[in-house]
Each structure stands twice: as C-alpha cells, then as structure tokens.
Structure 1
Amino acid sequence: MKKVFKIIGIIIVVIIALLVAIPLLFQSQIKDMIKTTLNDNLNAKVEFEDVNLSLISNFPKAHVTIDNLSITNLAPFEGETLASVKSIALNMSIMELFKDFETEPLAISSFSIDDALVNILTDKEGNSNYDIAKESDTPSNEDPSTESSGNFTIDIQDYSISNTNLNYMNASSNIEVRVANLNHSGKGQFSAERSQLDTNTDLFINFAMDSTQYLSNMHLKLDAVIGLDLEQNMYTFKDNKGYINALPLQFDGYVKLLENAQELDITFENPGSSFKDLLALVPEAYAKDLNGVETNGDFKLSGIVKGQFSETTIPTLDITMISNNASFKYPDLPKRVENIQINTTVKNSTGNPDDTYVAIDALNFKIDQDVFKSSATIKNLTKNMAVNAKAEGTLNLGNISKAYPLQLEEELSGILKANIQTAFDMNALETNAYERIKANGNLNITDVIFSSKSMLNPVEIAKADLSFSPQSVSLNTFDAKTGNSDFKASGTLNNFMGFVFSDKTLQGNFNLSSNKFVVNDFMTEDTSVETETQTEPQTTETLKIPDFLDCKISAQANTVVYDNLNLKNVKGTLTIKDQQAILSDMSSDIFQGKLAIDGTVSTKAETPTFDFKLGASNFDIAQSFNDLQLFQALAPIAKALQGQMNSSINLSGALNSDLAPDLNSVTGNAAMELLTSKIEPKEGPVLNKLKNEMSFIDFDKLDLKDLKTKLEFADGKVNVKPFHIKYEDIDIEVSGSHGFDMSLAYNTVFNVPAKYLGSDVNKLLTKMDDKDVKNMTVPVSANIGGTYTSPKISTDLTSAASNLTKQLVEMQKNKLINSGSDQVKDLLGGLMGSNSKEETPDTSSNATGDSNKTEEAITEGVKDVLGGLFGKKKEKSDN
C-alpha cells in the first residue's frame, strides 16, 4: 500500500513539474509562431512586449498572454496607430501545444482583450487604415467551414472586451464616431452552424457630422441573446433588453450579412408608456436624478428599420415619438412644465438616404401662464439640409431653470415673445444666398442676459425688437449694456439666420449711440496652451476682436474709454470684419483739445497689431504727456512743459495681450508744434541738472513759442531731428535720441555770448574797441546721458572760457603790436620773449625824447592789459 501512495505521489510531482516545465519549453516557440503569423497575414508594423504561457492559471487549458501589442499602419497612413492593446489572453487545449504550428492550425477556445484603443480612419480618397490583411492563398473552391486564419482556427465558447475605446473618422463623409468605455462579453458556440450567443454590452457614444455634434456621451446598454446562423450569416435578436441612457427599449428582428451589404429587419419600442421614459432619454448630466420626479401623461417611442444598408442605400425608417397632455415636476424645483404635446416622426420610405426627413408636427408646452408652440420639418439630412420652422408664444427664460435642472454658467432671465416663420437650406446660409432664406414675423425680448464663450462679459439686453422679412432682419430697437458700457442701436442684419443656425458671421449696418463705451468690454478672452517645453501646461489670455462680427457702425458716444484714456464727444465710423477694427473719420475731445484718428487694430494673428494716423490739435501738453504712455515715450521731457501743442503722428506696431502698444515694436514718425508753453523745471530732472551747469540761463524764461520738431522712432528708440530754441541772446540747438526705456543720448549746443563767461573775459572785452569782438559768441556743448530720471550731464564750459581768454589776449597783443613803433615791438617782443634781432638806436635828441615818451605809454598800456589778465592791480602815481 505504501508503494501505491509513493507511486501516486511521484506521478503528482511529475505532473506538477511538467506543468511548470512545459511553458518554458514552448513559450519561445509560441512567441515566434505569433510573430510569424501576424507578419505573414498583415500589411502593418506589429510589435508586442512579451508572450507568456501558463498551464496552471486556467488548467486544464493552456493560457497564453500577449502584452502591449501595437499595430502601426504603413502608407498611406504611415505612422498612424491602428490599434494598441495592453493585454490579450488566449485559452486553448494543452494538446494544441504539441501540434506542428507550421502545418496544423491552432484552435482558440476563448480570448479576452483588455484596455485597447482602436482608430479606424478613412481618408478623402476612400482609403481605409483597417484594410491591412494580405491576400489569402486559399483556393476559392475550398470549403469555407474549414478555412483557418493563418495558423489559427476559431472554436470560441466565450470572449470579453473590456475598457476599450474606438474612434471612427471618415474624412470623405465628414463623420466622426467615438465609442468610449466599451465593455462587451459573449458566450456561445461559434463553430456550430446554428447556436445562440449570450451577450452583454455597455458603452458611451458620441456622433458628429459636418462639425455638428448630434450625440454627446450617450450611454447605451444591451443585454441580448443573439441567434447565430452561420450558414445564412444571419444574427437574430431574441430575448433582449436595451437602454438609451435610462430609456428601456426592446428589440426584435435580425441582421443578415450579404456580400456587399447588410440586411436589417428590426422593430423596437419602449416597453412602458410613462412620460418619465422621455426624460430618461436626456443624459444624466442634464436630466439629473429622475427619482422623485412627478410625471403625468404618456410617451411612446416605436420604430421599424427594414432594408439593406450599403454604400448607396439605407433601410427604410418609420420611427415615431408621441406624447399627449403630459407634465413633469422635479421635487426640488418650484415650477411645473405642463400641457406637453410631442408628435415627431422620422421617415424614409425609399431607402435613398436623401429621402430621410424629420417632421415635428407639434412641440408645445406651458410654464405658469406662458404657452410656447413650435413645429418644423427637416429634409435632406445627408446633403443640403432644409428647414421649415414656426415658433409662436411667450417664454419667461428665468422659469426654465426653475422647472428643469439645467446647470448654466449664467442664470437665464428675461421675457421672449416670438411669432416667426422661416424656411432655409444650410447651403443658402453658408453662401449668403438670401433669395432662398425666408423669414417673416417679429421677435421681442426684454430684460434678457446673453453670454457666450466668444464674449468677455454678458450682454444685458433691456429691450430688443426685431422684424423679419424675406430680405433681412430689421433691428428696430436695441438697448443694452455689457460690463461698464451702455449702448443703443438700430439698423439692418443681413444674415441673422446664418448667425443663429450656422455659426456664420453677423453682418449688418448699424447706428450706435452710447453714454459710456469701454472698448475692452467688447473683447473676447483667447486661452491658449503654452509650448511643450513647459514643464507644466500653462494658459495665457489675450483680448480678441470677435470673429463673428462683420458690420459697419456709425457711432456717437459721450465717453469712450480705451486703456486709461477718456475720450469725449466721440464721432466716427467703425468697421469690424475678420477680427479687425477699422476706424474712419473718428474725432473726439481729449486733453482740452481735439483728436482725429484713422487706423486699424487687428487681432487676427497670434500677436495683435495696430496702424494709426493721429492728429492732435490744441492739446494740453502736461496732461497728454502725463496720461498717454506713448507720448511719454516719444518725448519724456515734455512732462515739464505747460501749454498747448499741435501734433501729427504716424505709428504702427504690435499690441500686448491687453491691447496696449508694445513700445519696443513701435515704428513711425511724428511732427510737433508748441503753440504756447512755459517750463516747470521741477518736473524735469534733466532741466534741473542743466540749470546747475548753466547758471547764467533761467529756464523759466526759455522762449518755446512756435517751436517745431520732427521725430522718428523704431527699434525702441526715438531720433530727434535738430531744432533750435531761444533764451534771450543765447541760441540753443538740440539733437540726439532717447530710448523708450528712458535712456538719453543728446547733444545740446549753447551759442553763448562772451560776456557770460566770467569777469576776466569781461575785463578783456572792455579794453577792446572792436564792436564785433565785444558781441562775439562761444559754442558750449552739453552732452546728456544716463536716464531721464537720473541724467548725467557733461559740458565744455570751463575749457570754452579758457580758450576765449587766450584768444582775446592774442587779439590784444596783435593789436598793440600792429599799432605801435619799433620800440613797442622790441618791448613787447622782449616781454613775450620774441626778440629776434638788434636795432641800431637813433642818436638824435628829438628821437630820443619821442622814443622815451612812446615807450612809457606802451609800457603802461601793456601793464594794464597784463594786470587785467592776471588780476594784478597797481595804482598809477600822479607825476
């Protein structure tokens, strides 16, 4: 007996050892087989991280897992990811491992796919990225029931797909479908000709066509038993129940796969008839919890879908949605919606997609005493959708959120009264074919607040009255405010329907008046993500001119606020188009003078730009240069001036995110003329510093009247053309440049009369009889550097006075030499050390006497000159 147990124990150990050892023996072989099979059958780049084999985890079957599989397309979708799968698990009989993989197919009994992403793409030429299978070498007459896929056969009893996302994008039809969080599983016998498949499906779906979102995060569930008839390729819905959001639906019918189409014959309906089923259609994020909602009345959704779905046809459709005299009330909201009538039909009786239409015969409701009725027909859904609609009634917008749990960024308020009938097609809206756009009736709104992402502030409409005609919409009255701005308008809108239904620009001509108009109130916030070099995503906001406006406005405003400027009595024409604001013949009162403006502001590019011509008349200098940053940059010293000026300025450049000029980008030129002006040196550090250097100039008395100068600016610098100013008998020439950063680089030349250069010079001048000499001027240069608030000034005043003194001495010396005798020349020559020859003295007595007298006179004169030069005074003796 002990031997028996011993043998059993050895067998068990051997089996366990084999279960552990076999995966090590076959794992490499399976990995090579999978890689070879995939690459032999697919025109794509296939990669996976690893393949693992286990005989224990799913005993008695072998369990194979493939980790991190990716399939990447080749041309014409080079580099696009067709599929990526975190994990694929395959189960098969252990005996399958002992087959010759090159000659015998491997039978898979079950599989699971986890955390997958599939991207199905079709380009404008009709190429599809999923068409990657290589052509099969299987003869056409081979029995399809025995056909294998490469080295695999399918004998599946169960499968599962979990946490999978699927994206479908068709560029030729402009259709986009996104399936998120797909979880699907099934059990059945696929190998039998007839069997049943028990399935469970749960997913969220989004559907858009032509950039219009028709389904948004709709939740679908389906628990269905599907009959499989593989011989006929038919799949029949048997015991099933599905949900659209929370609306229950039952399906009956079948889907049959044909060679180039699918044949459908399906009927469906909601099993109940409560109006709460309609609310269940609304996504939970909008409808909130339906528990506790009181409902009355019925609701029935039913449909028949029958026919072939192919490249040219769709099944015929007969879908109805009906509700009569229904009502509902949410427990936490004060208002009830009642007298609800819905009669909607979706039909197609030919199978031609173009013949599909929606008929909304009635969509009526009542909240409090307000009754609203509407109806519409929508045809030609797949191409040029045509709409014929009518709306009539009164709606208190504030009651909507009191009756239905909407979450709005801004609370709705105001009264809307409508009696409108319209007919149009989408192509007419897009091409402005006004002859095909019909509208009649009136729309009146009062105390309405309107906001959107394209606007910086909500617009509070006190009153608006619109009249519709086939040609246009007349804005009879419009009284509104936004932010700190108020405005009234009237005019004509040319494509109001296109703006409302097709995101077209709002075109028109308006007359606008305003008491206070703040420019920034009408800008939009543009949020953009910084570059990928940022360690963390960051956003920046810039002001943009709305791109939905295309209008011409004749404007008049008592006050317009732009940046820190208050412009009064503004008149002119403003054209807004293509994110540009064009100002024409604009005039206003500002800085106690007049301002004329013509120019353009554009926010179309990433960096906003401007190009303006400004004309200033009788501007108050101090106020304008104090309040206007641009003027401060152009002429900072003007802050110390008081008076009036005229100016013409041409400038262009870039704008910052708040639409203020970027001074480093500004280029242009300016001409300025001072009409009357005086100086307040205390306001000018440069003038204070100059006053210390030039004490003989009183800057309060500078004559600036009729001063004209020209400026040119670029690259952050202002170049000042030379100009002259006058102080009494001193002419001053100024030239140079300064930066917008207030750095200074000026050269000022003072043509100073000699009399201002000190007492020594004046004494010399009194000895001079020449009038021109006494009135001579000396150029004194002052170089101004540093910054406006901390200037650095250097002058050549000292050297100029010294040079003048030497010049005067030389002139006096030459005068005496030229007017005196030989003895004077000898004497001066001796004094100056310049005797170069000996003269023979005159021996006559008369000559001697005259010579002595002349020598004495010259000596005294020279002494006086030299005494004046060197400051030595000596009293003369009375002989």
Structure 2
Amino acid sequence: MKKALKISGLSFLILFLLLIAVPFVFQGKINDIIKQMINENLNAKVEFSDLSLSFIRSFPQAHVRVNDILIKNVAPFEDDTLTTVKDISFTMSLKELFKKEGEPLIINSIRIDEALLTLKTDALGNSNYDISKKNDSDASSDRKITFDIKDYSINNSALTFKDETSNMTLHLTEFNHLGHGMFSSEVSELDTSTETHVSFSMDSTFYLKNTLLKLDALIDLDLSNDTYTFKENKGYINQLPITFQGYLRQLDQGQEMEISFENPESDFKNFLAVLPEAYSKNIEEVETSGDFKVKGLVKGTYSDETIPNFDITITSNNAAFKYPNLPKQVRNININSSVKNTTGHTDDTFIDIKTLDFIIDSDVFKSSATLKNITKNMVVNARVNGVINLENLSKAYPIELDTPVKGILKGDITTAFDMEAIESNTYDRIKNNGSIQINNFEFTSKSFNHPFLISEANMKLNTGTVTLNQFKAKTGDSDLSATGIIKNLTGFLLSDGTLQGDFKVNSNSFNVNDFMTVDASSKDQNSKKQAEALKIPEALDCTINATAATVIYDNLNLKDVKGILVIRDQKASLNNLTSTIFDGALAITGDVTTKAQNPSFNLSLMANDFDIGKSFTGMELLQNLAPIAKVLQGKLNTKINLKGDLDEALSPVLSSVSGNAFAQLSGTRVKTDESKIINSLEGALNFVDFKKLNLNDLKTQFEFADGKVAVKPFHINYEDIKIEVSGTHGFDKSLNYNAIFNVPARYLGSDINRLIGKIDTAEANNISIPVAANITGSFTNPTVKTDLSSGVKNLTQQLIEIEKQKLLNQGKDKVKSLIGNVIGGNQTKSDSLKKAQNSTVNTILKDIVGNKTTQDSTSSNTDNAVKNVLGGLLGKKKKGKDSVN
C-alpha cells in the first residue's frame, strides 16, 4: 500500500512538474501566432509587455494571458492611442496548441481587464477604429480564429467616442459587462449583464451626465441571418426600471431595428428615480401620488444617410411628492412631452414640451416649449409664466446648493429664436416679450465678501433688448441702484455671447472691497487674507454712467464721484471720472485692462487744491513719487500721467510704473520736526531756517521709470538766498539730490564782512557764494555733504577783481606818477601801465589779506580766510580741501 502511494505521489509530482514546464515550450509558439495575426490583420502599431501560458490555472484547458497592451494608430491619426489594456486572458483546449499553421484556433473564453478605448471620427469622416487590413481573398497563409465562447467579460473599463461631424461625445465609465452563451452554432442564445455610467453631449449640451445604466438582456442569436432578438430584457436609468423588446438585423449598409420600451410601473416615484441618486436621495421614503410614464418606439434603418424613426413620450398627470424630512410639498405636477423623428433624417428630430407645470405652496409655475432642428441651427419657442420662491426649492426637494439663495422670481415670458441668431447677435430674429420681477433676492458666493441682496429688480423684455426699469442692490456697506438697456441677454445666458448694455448707476456708498474676492490660500506673513485681483469678464460690453456719493477704495474716501465707465474686451475705460478728495478735486481719465496675465493700467490724474498732508498720507502713489512732501503743509495742484502693471490687490507694481508729472504748491510751509532730511540739512547749513522757506507758487516737473523718479531743476527762496534743487530718488526710498544755495556774503560772519568793508563798494556788498549740498542715502537715513570749493574760488576771485577795479578808479593819478618813473628802455607805455597797476593792487591787497604781494599768493590767503569763515558757517570744520559736512 505504501509503495502504491509512493508511486502515485511520484506520478502526480511528475505530472505537476510537466504542467509547469511544458508551457515554456509552447509559449514561444503562442507568441509567434499572436504577432502573426496582428501583422496580417491590423493596420496599427501594437505592443505588449509580456505573454504567459499556464496549464494549471484553467486545467485541463490552456490559459493564455497578454499584459500591458498598447494599440496606436497610423495616419491619418498618427500616434494617437486607440486603446490600452492592462491584460487580456483567454482559454483554449490543449489540442489547439498542436494544430498546424492554417488550421483555425478555437477560443473558449475571454476576459479583458481595465481597457481604455478612445474612438474618433474626424470632420472628414475618417475613423480611427477602422484598422482592419483589407486582405486579398486568395491569401492562403491567414491564421483563422473560431470562437466557441461560453463565457466572456469586460471589467472596470472605459470608452470615449467623439464624432466631429455631429459634434457628439459619448463617455462610458466604470464599464462592466459579462456574457454566457454559445457562438459556434447558427442559432444560439446569449445571456448578458451590463453596468456603466453614461455621459452624452451634442453641440456642447449634455443630455446625460454620469447617468447610471444597467441592463440584463437575453438575446437570441441568428448568426446565419445576422439577426439579434431581445427576449427578456430589463434595464435601469439610474433607478428607473425600463423593459424593452424587439430585434436588430445587420445589413450591408447599416442596421435595421424595431425596439419598443417603457417603464413597467406608472408610480410618479419613477420620475424621481431618473434623477441621479445624489439628488434623488432616499426615494423609497418619499410620499408620491399620480402617475409617470415613459414609452418609446424606435423603428427603421440606421445608416450613413438615415436614422430610425422614433417616438418617445414622457407624461405625468396631477402628481405630487413630499420628502419626509422636508416641510414643503410639490403638487399639481403635470408633464406632457415627447421627442420625435418621423422622417428618418437627423435634422427633423424635435422636442415638444406641451406642459411642464407644478405648484409649491401658493406659487404656481407653468411652462411649455418646442425645440426643432436640434442637430443644426436649433429653433426654440418657449413660454414661462409663474412664481418661484427660491428658498422653497430646498424646502421641497433635497438639493444641496454650493451657494444658498433666497428671493422671489416672477416672470411672464415668451421667446422665439434660433441659435445662429444668438451667436451672430441678429436681434431682429430674437423675439422676446414679457417681464421679469425679482424681490429680496439674496445669495452668498465666494465672488463676494458679503451676501449680495437684490431688494428689487424689474425688467421688461422686448425683441433683442431688455429694459431695466429698476434695480436696487446691497452688499456689505455698498448700495447700488440702476436703470438701463441690456442687449443679447438670451445669447449671454444660452451660449457664449457677449452681454451688451447701457446703464445709469447710482450709489450712496460704494466700497470696492465689497466686490473683491478673497483667496483663502493666499496669506501674508501676518496671516491676513490678501485680496485677489478682479478679472473684468470677457463677456461684458457695456457703458455705465455712474454717480456715487462716496466711493471707498483701500483707505481712500472719494466724495461726489461722477464719470463714465466703458467695459469692453476685458478693459475698463474711465472717461473724466471726477471726485472730491483730500479737500480738493480729482479727475481721472484712462483705462485698466485684465486681458493679459498681469492686469495693467494707463491713467491721467489731475488734482486741484489737494491738502498736501492728507493726500501724501493717504495715497501710496504720491508717497513714492515725492516722499519729501509729507513734511509739507499747504495745497497741491498736479497732473500725473502714468502707466504700468497692477498686482493682485489692484495696486500699481512700482517697479513697472513709468510716466511724468507736473506739480505746483501754494500756501506751503515745512514741518521741520518730521523729517530726518530737513534735520540733516539744518545741521549742515546752519544759516538757513527751513521753517521760513518760501514755497509759494513752487513749480516742478519730474519723470519716473524703472523704479526711479527724476526731478528736473526747480527754484525756491529762503529770504534772499536762492536755492536750486534737482536729482533722483527711488521707489525704494533711496536718494541722490543736489541743492545749490546762493548765499549772500553778509551771512558769512564778521571776518568776511571786515574784508568786504575794506573794499567798501556796492558791488562787494552784493556778492553771493554758491554752496553745494549733496543729499544721498535714504529718506530714513540721509547723508548730507556740502562742497565749498566753488564758493571759495568764487568769493576769492570776486574780491580780487572788485579791489582791482576800485584801486584803478581811485588811484589813477598815483598810478600815472608811478608809471612815469618806471617808463624807459624798450617797454611800451601800455606794458608799463599794466605792471604799475598790478604792483599797486598787490601792495594794497597785502594790507587786507596777508604779507605776500603776488596775485596767486593773495588768492591763496583769501581762500584760506573764506574757508575758515564758511567752515564755521556750515557747521563743524572738516580737514580737506573741498568739503565740509
């Protein structure tokens, strides 16, 4: 017994090892067969990563598995991916492996996992799935495959179909399908089960969106006549059950079909079951009354030229429903609608909604519509008449809104239009009539910092236009009232049309921050929320004549704002916007555009009688253009032309700003205790009391670009000292300015005054000395250096020249006598006179400034004397030739 067991165990082990080892012998053959079949039958690029053969997994059959399959198209869809498959596995009898080339292979089962199939038809009618090779009929080497399938399945797969000729898109996701049957006999039966989510759109309109479809179908297969008959079939659209029967026959030029379907139950709860479960919620607990019926017939031939005729009706009579946890009931629901095609031509398909009525509380809503020529230039005729209390919608139906809404809408509207008229703004083909009234409409949105409330709005619809008779709204601290004309409202609502209008807008208080969005993900270092730049909608083309008592922007309060705003092509243009601010008047002309990635502006600002202190404290732009102005008190008149980029807070990006400006000051004085620059200048120039600077009627011009402001030379007066100022500063507060002080000599102390007194002429008493001050560093840490070299040289030369002239005028007789004594030799009279004059001048200057008698020596001594005086005048003495701090 033990010996028999050992023999049996050894035999089993040998058999098991053979089942493992033998597949390696045949695996290459299977690989060659698959590659040969691909090359001979498919006009595409096919790749796969691995192929395996097993005798154990499906014993006694062979199990073949191909992994990571990739099929790419050739022209005209070069390198487009047609399909990817994680793996395909199939089983066949062991004897199939021993068949000779040319003998058919019989496959018993197929399993496909995670396939992604993308089908396309381009505008020229080419299809990327037409990849079968057109082999010659007499080819003798083709390997044939015969399907004797009992089981097949497709698991967790997806399909996308796009047809550019009809602008149609179909998506199947989470697709699972399995079937059991026999395909080998001419007449057989196939039992299938399918589940998937379907999205279907045509001309950008979604008719199904992620709708759950289920189908259990028993199909008779008459393969000899290419006829498939649906016997016992039941499907679901979301949770709505549908039964159908009929047949489909394959023809040379298409498919012939006759299929009828309906929902087997007539309870109105079936209507809620059509809706996605996320919206219908627990419909089992909903109380309903009335009926709901879907019924359809599709009959005819589907080909390149025709579609089957069909008649699908949806009806409901005096129905009602109420969710158990909600306070409101929807009642008196009446639906009578149909989708039909009676000619077999796609363009003749039409939708007829004869009735769509319901009541919530005492609010009655009635509507009807027809849609014709829906595949091309759709023609719409519709009528809506009723009242909807928006707050009651969520009280009667379990809808979850991202932004809660309140308010009452009343409308009585009739409209007739075709889509081409909307897209081309052909207003005479858009026939609107009726009125819309909105009361206490309130909604909360991320687009606004506060809830937006429309207390009252009244619109009258006419052909092509809407007259806004009244509009009153409020959000945050802002209020709005408006009247005007709106054009192309239908096109704006139903397509990508532009909303055109002409409005008059009034506001008592308009705070720009109320209309700014807040980006919660963007925070500064102090975790404060940053305002996100508003984008001007591309679909707006309107003119707004605006008046506002107060407009608040950032920390600015503008009063009595008036102006015209034109919004077009993502640009807002201001035309003579006027306002009162900083105790003066402001006028702005220019534009702001958000069309590019970075918003930009181009503005011209005129200010009259601005309070300097208030304006330079309140406006960052003025602070950067002239930071020194914050130490001034008085009035400002200015005109500024500037352009540049805007940041996310709609503030100028200073490094991008360029332009020019003109400024005029009046009634202005300096607040010396508030400026480090003034303090530094007073320390370096102690002969100037900056409180007494005369800045009245000061005018200056400056230009700015690349983050710097260049100030052209301007002049100011301090008593009888004339001052010239010019230079540059940066928006980063850096400084590089020069100031030339023309200082009268009498300010230079007793030593210089004694020197001048010896000369004692009116001209000497009017001598002025230029003192240069160079201001660098920054506004918060300035450095002031004074240059004495030009002043010393100027004063020296003036004193010498004046003394020469004085001596010449007063001592003519003495000079003549001296000349007579020295005339002789070969010298001319003129040369003798010149030498005598110089000698006399040097002798006199010797008494004034030193013991040396040459002009150079005199100049040197005079320089030293002047330097000593100026050194004390300008502050502490500094060693060196040219400068004193």
Q: Deviation of residue 431 (structure 1)?
A: 1.3
Identity of aligned residues (%): 52
Match of 1:626, SS state, is: helix
Secondary structure, in 3 states, of the residue corresponding to 1:543?
coil
How far off its partner does 1:547 sit? 2.5
Deviations 1:675-698 (A, max 9, x none): 221111233322222121111111
Alpha carbons of structure 1 residues 800 and 296: separation in structure 2 relative to 1, 3 Å: same
**Bigger Cα displacement from structure 2, 325-334 vs 732-741:** 732-741
Q: Which residue of 1 aligns with 2:633?
A: 642
Q: Distance in 2 between matches of 1:126 and 1:681?
A: 83
Corresponding position of 1:308: 301
Q: Distance in 1 between matches of 2:574 and 2:794?
A: 59
Q: Distance in 1 between matches of 2:381 and 2:798?
A: 103
C-alpha contact 2:316 2:334 (8 A) present in aligned 1: yes
The answer for the alignment partner of 1:355 in structure 2 is 348
In structure 1, distance between residues paired with 2:799 and 2:685: 25
Task: Output the amino acid matched with 1:249.
Answer: I
2:754 matched to 1:755? no
- 2-structure distance, mates of 1:481, 1:470: 30
The question of whether the paired residues in 1 share the 8 Å contact of 2:103 and 2:143 is answered with no
Deviation at 1:333, TM superposition (A): 0.3
Q: Could you give the per-residue CA deviations for residues 60-95 of structure 1, whole angstroms, max 9, x where no partner exists?
A: 111111111111223332332211111211211122
Alpha-carbon deviations, 1:609-634, whole Å to 9, x = none?
Answer: 11111111111112111111111111
Counterpart position of 1:137:
136
Other-structure match for 2:110: 111
Alpha-carbon offset, residue 113 of structure 1: 1.1
- 2:281 is aligned to 288
Deviation at 1:642, TM superposition (A): 1.2
Structure 1 residues 23 and 540: alpha-carbon distance in aligned structure 2, compared to 1, 3 A threshold: farther
- Mapped to 2, the partners of 1:654 and 1:281 lie a distance apart of 52
Q: Give the aligned partner of residue 518 of structure 1.
A: 511
Shift of 1:116: 1.8
How far, CA to CA, are the matches of 2:209 and 2:382 in structure 1? 24
Structure 1 residues 803 and 341, CA gap change in structure 2 (3 angstroms): same
2:562 pairs, out of 560, 568, 571, with: 571
Equivalences for residues 358-757 of structure 1 within 5 A: 358-449=351-442, 459-522=452-515, 542-757=533-748
Q: CA deviation at 1:777?
A: 2.0
Alignment pair present for 1:198 and 2:191:
yes
Is contact 2:763-2:802 (8 Å) kept? no
SS at match of 1:88: strand
Distance 1:8 1:769, change over 3 A: same
Alpha carbons of 1:485 and 1:813: their partners in 2 closer, same or farther (altered >3 Å)?
closer
Work out the CA distance in 2 between the residues paired with 1:674 and 1:820.
Answer: 50
Amino acid at match of 2:630: K
3-state DSSP class of the match of 1:299?
strand
Q: Does 1:320 align with 2:313?
A: yes
Query: Distance between the aligned counterparts of 1:391 and 1:860, measured in 2?
Result: 113
**AA partner of residue 69 (structure 1):** I
Distance 1:861 1:401, change over 3 A: closer
Change (3 A) 1:18 1:513: same
Paired letter, 1:724: H
The aligned amino acid for 2:650 is L
Q: Aligned residue for 1:86?
A: 86
Note the C-alpha offset of 1:806. 5.7
Q: Map of 1:174-189 to 2, 5 A cutoff?
A: 174-189=167-182
| Structure 1 counterpart of 2:62 | 62
- Alpha-carbon distance change, 272 to 714 in structure 1, aligned in 2, over 3 angstroms: same
Distance 2:661 2:37 in 1: 78
- Structure 1 residues 540 and 194: alpha-carbon distance in aligned structure 2, compared to 1, 3 A threshold: farther
Does the C-alpha gap of structure 1 residues 863 and 190 become closer, same or farther in structure 2, counting only changes over 3 Å?
A: closer
Whether the 8 Å contact between 2:438 and 2:456 is mirrored in structure 1 is yes
Question: What's the C-alpha RMSD, in Å, of the aligned pairs?
Answer: 3.2
Query: Are the structure 2 counterparts of residues 754 and 469 from structure 1 closer, same or farther at C-alpha, using a change threshold of 3 Å?
Result: same
Does residue 122 of structure 2 align to residue 123 of structure 1?
yes
In structure 2, the partner of 1:841 is none
- Distance across 2 between alignment mates of 1:377 and 1:820: 118
| CA distance in 2: counterparts of 1:856 and 1:420, whole angstroms | 112
Q: Which of 249, 259, 263 is residue 252 of structure 2 equivalent to?
A: 259
Question: By how many angstroms is 1:163 displaced?
Answer: 0.9
Q: Is 1:248 paired with 2:241?
A: yes
- Give the deviation of 1:864 after TM superposition: 10
How many residues align structurally?
826
Closer/same/farther in 2, CA of residues 407 and 744 from structure 1, 3 Å limit: same
- With 455-464 and 401-410 compared, the bigger mean Cα shift is at 455-464
Alignment check: 8 A CA contact 2:767 2:798 kept: no
By how many angstroms is 1:249 displaced? 0.5
- SS of the aligned residue for 2:30 comes to helix
What TM-score results when the alignment is normalised by the length of structure 2?
0.87
User: Alpha carbons of 1:752 and 1:351: their partners in 2 closer, same or farther (altered >3 Å)?
Assistant: same
Q: Is the 8 A contact 2:253 2:303 kept in 1?
A: yes
Cα distance in 2 for partners of 1:583, 1:720 equals 28
Query: What's the offset of the Cα at 1:580?
Result: 1.4
CA distance in 2, matches of 1:859, 1:235: 135
Contact 2:40–2:142 (CA under 8 A) maintained in structure 1: no
TM-score normalized by structure 1?
A: 0.88
C-alpha offsets along residues 270-314 of structure 1, whole Å, 9 cap, x if unaligned? Answer: 111110000000111111121211001111111111111222221
Preserved CA contact (<8 Å) 1:581 1:601: yes
Task: Supply the distance in 1 between the matched residues of 2:848 and 2:787 (Cα, whole angstroms).
Answer: 32
Give the Cα–Cα distance (whole angstroms) in 2 for the partners of residues 858 and 568 of structure 1.
70
Q: Deviations over 1:817-837 (max 9, x none)?
A: 98999xx99xxxxxxxxxxxx
Q: Could you tell me whether the CA contact under 8 Å between 2:385 and 2:412 is conserved in 1? A: yes
Distance between the aligned counterparts of 1:490 and 1:858, measured in 2? Answer: 89
Q: State the secondary structure of the residue aligned to 1:205.
A: strand
The 3 A distance-change label for structure 1 pair 439 and 806 is closer
Deviation at 1:110, TM superposition (A): 1.2
Deviations 1:791-829 (A, max 9, x none): 2222214x55655676578669978998999xx99xxxx
Amino acid at match of 2:255: Q
Amino acid at match of 1:582: S
Code of the aligned partner of 2:639: S
1:78 is paired with a residue whose SS is coil
